[in-house]
Amino acid sequence: MTLSFTTHWRDELPDFYTSLSPTPLDNARLIWRNAPLAQQLGVPDALFAPESGAGVWGGEALLPGMSPLAQVYSGHQFGARAGQLGDGRGILLGEQQLADGRRYDWHLKGAGLTPYSRMGTAAPCCARRSGKVWRRRRCTLWGSRRRAPRRW
């Protein structure tokens, strides 16, 4: 199966993003992967091979058809209109199009500064990010379709 990416967001919402590539991480390495999801999406095992470094997952490479961007949006935050908001440290790498028409966003967290960053480091610590992954994974295993709560 060949991975196929679309540019739906880029094509249909030209005023709601800034094009930019992720900032590669120094000495990055992959420490965990969601094997069932990778299989469902048809992600080849070669993308997880230790000899390839962190590759796409560490911001070192892009796959054919990926067109990275930081999303900008508006909304309410803490009960008040917040004006312009956006991805401060996350980058949408691409939208994978499956054969049945479903699309999945490949979004890289901690991908570097964007025009919407609040001038932090833009590199979340592994412990905080992995906790979020494990909570979501636990909810999936329990059969929940909702997002995991922030705190247990």
Q: pLDDT tens for residues 58-93?
A: 888 899 999 999 988 888 778 888 777 777 778 999
| pLDDT of amino acid 68 | 94
Higher pLDDT, 134 or 28: 28
User: Is the separation of the CB atoms in 41 and 104 below 8 Å?
Assistant: yes
Distance between CA atoms of 23 and 118, rounded to whole angstroms? Answer: 16
- What's the pLDDT score for residue 130? 55
What is the average pLDDT value for the chain, to the nearest integer?
79
CA 16 to chain centre: 17
Stretch 129-145: mean pLDDT: 60
Q: For residue 151, name the pLDDT band (cuts at 50, 70, 90).
A: very low
Stated as kind and residue range, the H or E segment containing 130 is: helix 126-141
Residues pairing with 104 in the sheet: 96
The whole-number pLDDT of residue 147 equals: 52
Structure tokens at 42: 């048809």
* Domain locations in the chain as residue ranges: 5-122
